[in-house]
Each structure stands twice: as C-alpha cells, then as structure tokens.
Structure 1
Amino acid sequence: MIQRLVAIMAKLRDPKTGCEWDRAQTFKTIAPYTIEEAYEVADAIERSDMGDLKDELGDLLLQVVFHSRIAEEAGLFTLADVANAISDKMERRHPHIFGKAEQSPGWEQIKAEERGAKAQAGALDGVARGLPALMRAEKLQKRAARTGFDWPDADGARAKIIEEMEEVAQAPSPAAREEEMGDLLFAVVNWARKLGIDPEAALRVGNAKFEHRFRAMEAESGEHFAALDLDAKEALWQRVKRRE
C-alpha cells in the first residue's frame, strides 16, 4: 500500500504535470509541517481517539514520503534507503534480539557508541535544533548530566528556580528580562527532569486543564463572560475547579 502513496507523491512532484504547491516545497519549507503532524499524533493519543490517530499517522507518514521524494530527486537517498537505515539501526541497538549477544549493553550505551563513531566534538552535539524548546532543554540537560554536570538532587534545581525568578524581577531592560526568563524556564525544565517528570507532557496536561476550565467558565456565564470584572472571573474559575 505504501507504494501507492509513493506513486502519488511522485505525481504531485512531477515538474510538468504535478501540483504547483507540492513542486515548490523543500526540506526546510515542509519541516514545520512534519513537526506539527508529530504533535497531532501525540494529541490523538492523548485524547484516546483511535480514528484520529489512524489519520494523523497517515499524515505523518506522508511527511516521511515527501522528504524522501525530495531527496530522491536530488540524488541523495530514497524511501527504501530510509527504511533500510532505520532497520539496520534497530537491529544494531538490539543485539540480544537480532544478534549473538545474550545481553544488550543498553540502549543509551549503544547510542553513545554511535555518536562516538560520528566523531562528535562535544557532549551536546547531535541534539536537534528543530526540537520544541522544552524538549530540547531536557535533552541538553540529560547530555550534560552524563558528564557529571548536574544537581545531585531536586533541591538544587528548585533553589535555582528561586534564584532565576529574582533575576527576572531585577532585569534592567526588556532584552535582559527575556534572557532571564529563558534561564528561568530552563531551570523549571531541570527541576521537572530531576523529579522524573516529562516537562513537555506536563505542559500539555496543563494546557488541556486550562482550556477545559476556561471553556466551562464561558459556558456558565454565557455571552456576558467578557464583561465580568476580574474578581467575578476568579470566583467563577474557583467554582469550576471545585466541580472537577
């Protein structure tokens, strides 16, 4: 079935008879759509909507086919090369399943060896710049932690948050305040990591909770919600919370 999708993409990218929009795309222009589709997959899973999950996985698969088609046109690699590369990687990372080893040396150790084979210069090399900021912060921190640069427990990370909050408050300019706010958010990610919490997942839960409560406030107050003063809105918010 995937060959049907491959053929559709080839037709869409045909330089003479293809779709004008699809022909104009590059790796860079469709990268944001690839990221968006991955998040829509996560959203469908969060909502336990298997119908949507099927559709969103299809959209994500289209992105893989799209990138592969652009690469094939440039003589770089094909979809088959992509599939073979990930198959090789999965077999390499599970030698106890696909090889002769009786016990796996561990996923992280194998990945570290692969990074070493790529002659990376530093511990933070290879952390993709296109990742969402919260996720990238956590990955950077985990890489740094492998070198011993890490708080011994969650208390140190929590104290750093308090320190960074004060630096935001004392920032002498808007630019400095933005920089300090970045440090504060980075510190919050660090605390979450030390507590064993995925900050990206936690924020998604927080977003969903806020959205649910806000919609409930709007439904209860009707068209008059915007006209309520802040005290009335806060009382309404607390009433909605108590009903959960």
Structure 2
Amino acid sequence: MKLDPLIELVSILRKKCPWDRTQTLKSLKNNLIEEAYEFVEAVEANDIAAIKEELGDILFLVTFLVQILKEKQRMDFDELIKLTIKKYKEKHPHVFKGEKLKDQDAVVEFWHRSKSDIFEGIPKTLPALQAARTIQERAARLGFDWQSSAGPLRKIGEEIGELNRSKTETERFEELGDLLFACVNLARHLRIDPEDALRSANKKFVERFRNVVSELEGMGRDIRKVSLEEMDRVWEEQKGQQRSKGIEAELRILKLGLNKLKISYDTKILKKFRRYLELLYEYRGRVHLISKLDYTRIAHKHFLVSLLPYQFIKGHKYVCDVGAGAGFPSIPLKIFFPDMKFVLFESRKKKAEFLVRLIKELGLKDVEVRAERAEEYKKQEFDLALFRAAGRIDKLVKVITQLVKPGGEVIFYKGLGQRKELGYAQKRLRRLGFQTGSEVLSNPIDKSSVFLVILKRQG
C-alpha cells in the first residue's frame, strides 16, 4: 500500500478539524517525543500489537509535520524521500559505491570520520543519560577511555568522596553531575544501557511501593502515619515475595525449554535449579555474577543456553569450564550429568567463593573450583573444555593446547556476530592438530541463535 491515502487523510484533517488546523511544528514536537517513548515501551514489553500501533502514530505525525512544511512551500513528501535516500546512500558507500569497509566497526568509524567535530550531531535535548553515553562512546573512538570497567568503578569511588567533601550548593551540583557521568561510563563498560537500567529501576520501585501501600492499607493503617521502620519492614517482605514470584516464573520457563529440547528432568533436578536461582538472587548486589537485566531471564539466557549442546556433551568424563563466573555452562550441565568430573577455573576470588558455596548447597560431587587463571594450569588432561564469554578464540589457542588431551574436544559458546573468530584462528588450530567445526543452535524460548565452535584435538 502506498502513502497517498495517509497523506490525503492528513490534508483533510488540516482543512476540516479545528484542532489539527492550529497545530505547528513547535506544538507537535512533544507529541513526537511521547510517541517515540510509547514505541520504546511497546518494544520493551515485546507487545507486537502495540508496536504496530505506535509505529503507525509516529508515521502519522511525520506525515502531519511534512504537510505543515508543504503548506509553507518548504518541502513535500517527494522531496523528503529524495533527501533521505541521498543521505543514506552517502552514509553507505560500501553498499552503493564499492568502498571496502570490512565490518560494522569500520562502518561506524567511517561515519564518525566524516564529521569535523566528534560531538557533532548530538542533540542538546537528548536525555542526559543517553547523551552522556554517546559523548563517552565518541571520545573512546579517539582512544580516550578506560581499559576496563575497573577504571570507571574507581572513578565512582573518587566522585563519591568529592561529593562528601563538597561544601556549597554549586560544588554539590557539579560533583553530583560528575558522579552520574561516571556511573554512565561504568554502565557503558558493562554493556548496559543506562536509560534501560534506570527505567527498569523506576518501574521496579513504583510496583514495589504500590504493593507496600496496598499491604499497609489492607492492615487498616494510614500510610501517612506509619513509621519508616515499619514501611521498611513491609518493603523487605515485598522484595521477598517478588523474588519468590520471579523464581517460580524462571522455573516455568526452564521446564518449558527443557521439554522443547527433549531433555528429561525430575523433581530433584528442579529442586537444584530452584536453589541455584535462590543463591543468584541472594548474591545480587554483593558480587557481579550476571547483569542486572539478566535477573529476569536467567532460565532462558543462562540455564537453557548452557544446556543447548546437551547432545555433544554426552560421553565425556573429565570437563573443565574456563572463566566459570556464575557457573555457566558447567553447573547446569553437571546437574544433568552427575557422573562427569568437572574443574571450574575462576580467577576472581568472590566469584570462586560463590561457586564453592553453590556446589556445596546443590550437593554436587566431583566438582573442583580452582581460583586461578586457566593459563596457569598446564596439564593436558581434560577430554572436554568449555568456554562461554571467555574471550576471542584466537587469543585462547595456547590455553586450549595446555588443557585438552589428544582426542579431547573444545566447545566455544558464541553469538552469530562472532562467527568470524573461528576464521581468524583456523589456520593456527589446524597446525596444532585441531579439527574445526561449528553448529548453530536455537534457544527454545526466544529463538535467538547460539553459534557453537567445536574443536577436536587429533590424538
């Protein structure tokens, strides 16, 4: 269907509706912002019907704005389309002019290289958190950035100290701004969108506080006369109830995924996963085991992804997990393969301590946690090595050769966007006697793809 009927509708409304007739570019700017945020909300809720509706509202507003410009003889839809096509063809010379840009990083680099000022094009009205992230990303492209998340984390500590020492309102204003900027920097290094994270925190607070008010009113209490201590007690109770609901929801998703993967389970196995979830929630805020957003998708993003190569794991006896972190993928696999012996390498002390407790609480036997880097372990004794979020394949070739015995196998869990990694390492791996292969597996819940790199050492 063409846009002509929509353009005609807007033209009629501009002539015949008193409200539509009085609108201007300025009067509609907030409407466009509102519709954009409603679209974001629909996307976050994964509500397809709402997404269609909100996209329609945005398209209507864009058409309306073009009609206003047309009436002032400044532009019509044909001109807008021509200008847009011209702009995006110029932004994609690798598509339309045969220029060589090898990957998405090179494309982004080209876009920014064409700007005379690296901060050009950042709207002054952009939400402050989003603007801060964009500013930091652009500065980072010129090498002005921390090497890891440890840098901004230290900076946050420094900024809190400076805020505590500030004496005037002006100083506090400035130091608080610096602290927020540092928090955005940390979020960027952790690959968390600060806008999404804060929106999620806002939503969680509102839901929980509404429950607190409802609970107190149900007890016949006047919320305005309740002490802070009592409100805090009910708040903690609500947190516990929400956690319980979250765990039940995760277990339902886990069972659904296991059924789709045709993996058999019983009540004992589900009990172990329940305790696993309880411990992850208990350590939340104490140790960074998984991202904050992942606490609403542990079952499908971590448990089920860990179990995707279930068929490839069968038959192995001695397995190591490099960079075990919160225990993915080794602990979910160990739950289903109790006779296998596992060694978990985790060099970060707090995470290693979590793993030790987790193994004890789940009653798992023949699982050893080594609080050291896998590079330090030089016995070729494992018949299977697992790597998930442990780094690039070509950077880990030496570690593989140190860990895996002749005839053993290696499995890397990767995203589809990381498929090139195998190509970078393939020649070297073959020289060292590894056969290379791969499989693309689908998550049974959200249909996202996991790219498994499977190496077999010749023996």
TM-score by length of 1: 0.84
State the alpha-carbon separation in 2 of the partners of residues 242 and 30 from structure 1: 44
Residue 55 (structure 1) shift: 1.8
Q: How does 1:22-37 map to 2 (within 5 A)?
A: 22-37=20-35
Aligned AA (1:54): K
Residue in 2 that maps onto 1:10: 11
Query: Identity of counterpart residues, as a percentage?
Result: 36
Aligned AA (2:8): A
State the alpha-carbon separation in 2 of the partners of residues 180 and 201 from structure 1: 24
Residue 57 (structure 1) shift: 1.4
Give the stretch that moved more between structures: 105-114 or 156-165: 105-114
- Structure with bigger RCO (C-alpha 8 Å, 6+ apart): 1
State the alpha-carbon separation in 1 of the partners of residues 120 and 33 from structure 2: 21
Aligned AA (1:107): V
Query: For 1:128, what is the secondary structure of its paired residue?
Result: coil
Cα distance per residue 1:43-85 (max 9 Å; x no partner): 1121222222222112211221222222223333223333334
User: Are 1:108 and 2:108 counterparts?
Assistant: yes
Cα distance per residue 1:170-222 (max 9 Å; x no partner): 33332332222222111110111111111111111111211221222223222
- Structure 2 gaps of 5+ residues are 244-459
State the alpha-carbon separation in 1 of the partners of residues 190 and 93 from structure 2: 32
Cα distance per residue 1:90-115 (max 9 Å; x no partner): 44555565565676554303322543
Residue 155 (structure 1) shift: 1.4
Q: Larger helix proportion, structure 1 or 2?
A: 1
Residue in 1 that maps onto 2:216: 221
Residue 228 (structure 1) shift: 1.9
User: Are 1:65 and 2:63 counterparts?
Assistant: yes
User: Are 1:158 and 2:118 counterparts?
Assistant: no
Residue in 1 that maps onto 2:48: 50
Aligned AA (2:109): Q
Give the stretch that moved more between structures: 22-31 or 135-144: 22-31
- Matched residues, number: 236
The structure-2 alpha-carbon separation of the partners of 1:143 and 1:103, relative to structure 1 and needing over 3 Å to count, comes to: closer
Q: How does 1:1-244 map to 2 (within 5 A)?
A: 2-14=3-15, 17-19=16-18, 21-94=19-92, 100=98, 104=102, 106-115=106-115, 120=116, 122-222=117-217, 224=221, 226=223, 227-243=225-241, 244=243
State the alpha-carbon separation in 1 of the partners of residues 186 and 128 from structure 2: 15
State the alpha-carbon separation in 1 of the partners of residues 179 and 86 from structure 2: 40
State the alpha-carbon separation in 1 of the partners of residues 64 and 146 from structure 2: 43
State the alpha-carbon separation in 2 of the partners of residues 191 and 241 from structure 1: 26
State the alpha-carbon separation in 1 of the partners of residues 184 and 121 from structure 2: 20
State the alpha-carbon separation in 2 of the partners of residues 194 and 159 from structure 1: 13
Aligned AA (2:177): G
Give the stretch that moved more between structures: 181-190 or 42-51: 42-51
- Give the RMSD, CA atoms, in angstroms: 2.5
Query: Do 2:112 and 2:118's aligned partners in 1 also have CA atoms closer than 8 Å?
Result: no
State the alpha-carbon separation in 2 of the partners of residues 205 and 3 from structure 1: 40
Query: Do 1:218 and 1:225's aligned partners in 2 also have CA atoms closer than 8 Å?
Result: no
Aligned AA (2:58): L
Query: For 1:56, what is the secondary structure of its paired residue?
Result: helix
The structure-2 alpha-carbon separation of the partners of 1:171 and 1:33, relative to structure 1 and needing over 3 Å to count, comes to: farther
Larger Rg: 2
Query: Do 2:101 and 2:107's aligned partners in 1 also have CA atoms closer than 8 Å?
Result: no
State the alpha-carbon separation in 2 of the partners of residues 143 and 27 from structure 1: 30
TM-score by length of 2: 0.47
Query: Do 1:165 and 1:184's aligned partners in 2 also have CA atoms closer than 8 Å?
Result: yes
- Structure 1 gaps of 5+ residues are none
Query: Do 1:217 and 1:240's aligned partners in 2 also have CA atoms closer than 8 Å?
Result: yes
Q: Larger strand proportion, structure 1 or 2?
A: 2
